[in-house]
């Protein structure tokens, strides 16, 4: 069925053996270690357009795209030039630069519900700061999150649901004290009853609700728009701030993210990934009344040595300028939709238990044959078919993020020819798995 050896990974294997001496698990972020799919992680040497090459010089069409930031693919010429031109003047100053103004102005002109932003250096930092701001602004301590949403490795959000409909969290990572975790309430996604009963009991203590409006870190758990709309209404009614964590969906499903796509306005929004053009940038933003609580204007402390780094700002601005061009998102969505529908009709014709779920240019392999999954508890935990497909595709030159819970991304550089080639390889892979 599957070739076990497949592509030569000997250089990656050597580098991985070495890196295990330096880093826990040999990596600087856990999912990179290939633990869920098995085998040796590829060490990547370079990327160009839709392609990456590993240290053994194997070439892949890349659908991981650095986990989302690279909406223009690898090494886009304009992003590259912008980085290099800016870098010529120095890498970092720790003082204000014009580039921060330019990127902020570009974003704020196009996203009307935020008046001010603060740049940070990662999605995690954006979320952590947004939570602190919500608590500082509201004077309340508890926060609500949803089971199946990921918000970075923020202590208060590394929390699992207990049993029952509305539950106080239990920490999902060693090192997070239970006393922190119990300030977080965990609700099921797409469940209005749970949300209402939570607000009826605890609203006076709740600073904010945080949600990925397009949950894309545990499969792709598309929410009913009516759920998100009602969430907004209830937050307003109970005087609880609504945070949209748009680190993955911001500048991805629309320039203004899910908020623009669904026409729903959060009180605070967090960005990351695409906003930095492949360099480390995050941001959080809100109306003036809320942002004036952030230091040095207000009492909520938040700072960063490399925040607003000029080179990263330049990369982000070059990328977002392209995203803001006419039809950018229309084209990206159209080719993603055609690609996904082709795979889905192939699976339907052959009775394969797979349905790709997608929104905008994000897609996910849902290997349990269900049409629509809106809660993490509905995901089939058996990822063996995904793992087989992942392994098959690596051997024929297609790279996906190494976990069945992760989504794939189509970039501007994935043209019809790349998507067709990928379709042919995916269909052959599925055939070898299921027949």
Of residues 242-271, those binding ligand PLP (CB under 6 A)? 245, 247-248
- 180 neighbors 157 (Cβ within 8 angstroms): no
Kindly tell me which of 49 and 277 has the beta carbon lying closer to ligand PLP. Answer: 277
The stretch among 33-41, 168-176, 241-249, 254-262 that binds ligand PLP (CB under 6 A) is 241-249
CB of residue 174 vs ligand PLP: minimum separation in angstroms? 19
Active site residue 8: no
CB of residue 351 vs ligand PLP: minimum separation in angstroms? 33
The stretch among 107-115, 148-156, 166-174, 313-321 that binds ligand PLP (CB under 6 A) is 148-156
Active site residue 262: no
Measured distance between the N- and C-terminal CA atoms of the chain, rounded to whole angstroms: 9
- 117 neighbors 100 (Cβ within 8 angstroms): no
CB of residue 401 vs ligand PLP: minimum separation in angstroms? 12
Per-residue interface string for the shown chain with ligand PLP, residues 399-428, x marking contact by CB under 6 A? ------------------------------
Point out the catalytic residue in the list 273, 342, 413, 425.
273
In 3D space, the residue among 171, 168, 268, 153 whose CA is nearest the CA of residue 210 turns out to be 268
Give the E-state strand segments of 81-166 in sequence order.
116-120, 142-147, 159-160
Nearest residue to ligand PLP by CB is 123
- 190 neighbors 374 (Cβ within 8 angstroms): yes
Helix (H, G, I), strand (E, B) or coil at 420: helix
Kindly tell me which of 73 and 272 has the beta carbon lying closer to ligand PLP. Answer: 272
The stretch among 144-152, 158-166, 261-269, 374-382 that binds ligand PLP (CB under 6 A) is 144-152
Give the burial class of 11: count Cβ atoms within 10 A of its Cβ; 0-12 exposed, 13-18 middle, 19 or more buried.
middle
Point out the catalytic residue in the list 51, 150, 284, 329.
150
Give me the residue label for tokens 């029952």: 164
Kindly tell me which of 212 and 412 has the beta carbon lying closer to ligand PLP. Answer: 212
- 177 neighbors 169 (Cβ within 8 angstroms): no
Of residues 280-299, those binding ligand PLP (CB under 6 A)? 282
Of residues 74-133, those binding ligand PLP (CB under 6 A)? 122-124, 127
The reply to whether 150 sits near ligand PLP by the rule CB under 6 A is: yes
Kindly tell me which of 258 and 356 has the beta carbon lying closer to ligand PLP. Answer: 258
Residue 247: Cβ within 10 Å count: 31
CB of residue 123 vs ligand PLP: minimum separation in angstroms? 2
Which uninterrupted H or E stretch holds 284?
Answer: strand 282-286
CA atoms within 13 A on the CB side of 199: 20
- 313 neighbors 102 (Cβ within 8 angstroms): yes
In 3D space, the residue among 33, 57, 34, 62 whose CA is nearest the CA of residue 45 turns out to be 57
Residues 224, 403: Cα–Cα separation, whole Å: 25
- 435 neighbors 98 (Cβ within 8 angstroms): no
Residues near 371 by Cβ (< 8 Å), separated by ≥ 6?
355
Residues near 143 by Cβ (< 8 Å), separated by ≥ 6?
131, 134, 135, 156, 157, 183, 184, 185, 206, 207, 208, 209, 210
Kindly tell me which of 111 and 248 has the beta carbon lying closer to ligand PLP. Answer: 248
CB of residue 282 vs ligand PLP: minimum separation in angstroms? 6
160 prior amide bond cis, ω within 30 = no
Kindly tell me which of 74 and 273 has the beta carbon lying closer to ligand PLP. Answer: 273
The stretch among 149-157, 171-179, 200-208, 323-331 that binds ligand PLP (CB under 6 A) is 149-157
Of residues 200-239, those binding ligand PLP (CB under 6 A)? 212, 217
Residues 215, 406: Cα–Cα separation, whole Å: 11
- 392 neighbors 429 (Cβ within 8 angstroms): yes
Query: Quick one: which of 41, 49, 136, 152 contacts ligand PLP (CB under 6 A)?
Result: 152
CB of residue 272 vs ligand PLP: minimum separation in angstroms? 4
CB of residue 327 vs ligand PLP: minimum separation in angstroms? 25
The stretch among 48-56, 146-154, 364-372, 397-405 that binds ligand PLP (CB under 6 A) is 146-154
Per-residue interface string for the shown chain with ligand PLP, residues 311-340, x marking contact by CB under 6 A? ------------------------------
Residues 271, 257: Cα–Cα separation, whole Å: 9
Point out the catalytic residue in the list 147, 191, 245, 267.
245
Kindly tell me which of 247 and 375 has the beta carbon lying closer to ligand PLP. Answer: 247
Active site residue 267: no
Catalytic machinery residues: 150, 245, 273
Query: In the complex, which residues of this chain contact ligand PLP (CB under 6 A)?
Result: 122-124, 127, 150-152, 212, 217, 245, 247-248, 272-273, 282
């Amino acid at each position: 069925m599957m070739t076990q050896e497949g592509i030569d990974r000997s250089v990656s294997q050597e580098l991985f053996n070495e890196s295990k001496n330096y880093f826990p698990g040999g990596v600087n972020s856990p999912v990179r270690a290939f633990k869920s799919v098995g085998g040796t992680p590829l060490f990547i040497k370079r990327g160009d357009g839709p392609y990456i090459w590993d240290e053994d010089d194997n070439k892949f069409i890349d659908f991981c795209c650095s986990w989302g930031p690279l909406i223009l693919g690898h090494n886009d010429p304009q992003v590259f030039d912008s980085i290099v031109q800016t870098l010529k003047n120095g890498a970092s100053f720790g003082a204000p630069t014009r580039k921060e103004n330019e990127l902020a102005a570009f974003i704020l002109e196009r996203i009307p519900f935020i008046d001010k932003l603060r740049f940070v250096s990662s999605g995690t930092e954006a979320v952590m700061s947004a939570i602190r701001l919500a608590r500082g602004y509201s004077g309340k301590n508890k926060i609500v999150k949803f089971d199946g949403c990921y918000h970075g490795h923020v202590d208060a959000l590394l929390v699992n649901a207990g049993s029952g409909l509305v539950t106080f969290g239990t920490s999902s990572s060693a090192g997070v004290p239970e006393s922190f975790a119990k300030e977080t309430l965990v609700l099921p996604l797409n469940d209005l009853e749970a949300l209402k009963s939570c607000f009826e009991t605890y609203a006076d203590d709740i600073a904010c609700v945080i949600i990925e409006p397009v949950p894309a870190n545990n499969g792709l758990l598309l929410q009913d728009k009516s759920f998100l709309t009602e969430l907004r209404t209830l937050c307003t009614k109970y005087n609880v701030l609504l945070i949209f964590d748009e680190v993955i969906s911001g500048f991805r499903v629309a320039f203004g993210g899910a908020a623009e796509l669904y026409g729903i306005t959060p009180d605070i929004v967090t960005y990351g990934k695409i906003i930095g053009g492949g360099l480390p940038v995050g941001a959080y933003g809100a109306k003036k009344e809320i942002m004036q609580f952030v230091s040095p204007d207000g009492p909520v402390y938040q700072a960063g040595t490399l925040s607003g780094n000029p080179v990263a700002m330049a990369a982000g601005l070059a990328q977002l300028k392209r995203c803001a061009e006419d039809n950018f998102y229309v084209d990206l969505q159209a080719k993603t939709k055609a690609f996904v529908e082709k795979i889905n009709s192939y699976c339907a014709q052959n009775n394969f238990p797979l349905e790709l779920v997608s929104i905008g240019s994000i897609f996910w392999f849902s290997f349990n044959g269900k049409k629509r999954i809106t809660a993490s508890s509905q995901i089939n935990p058996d990822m063996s078919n995904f793992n087989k497909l992942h392994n098959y595709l690596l051997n024929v030159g297609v790279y996906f993020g190494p976990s069945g819970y992760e989504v794939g991304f189509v970039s501007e550089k994935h043209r019809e020819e790349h998507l067709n080639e990928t379709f042919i390889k995916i269909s052959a892979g599925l055939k070898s798995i299921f027949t």
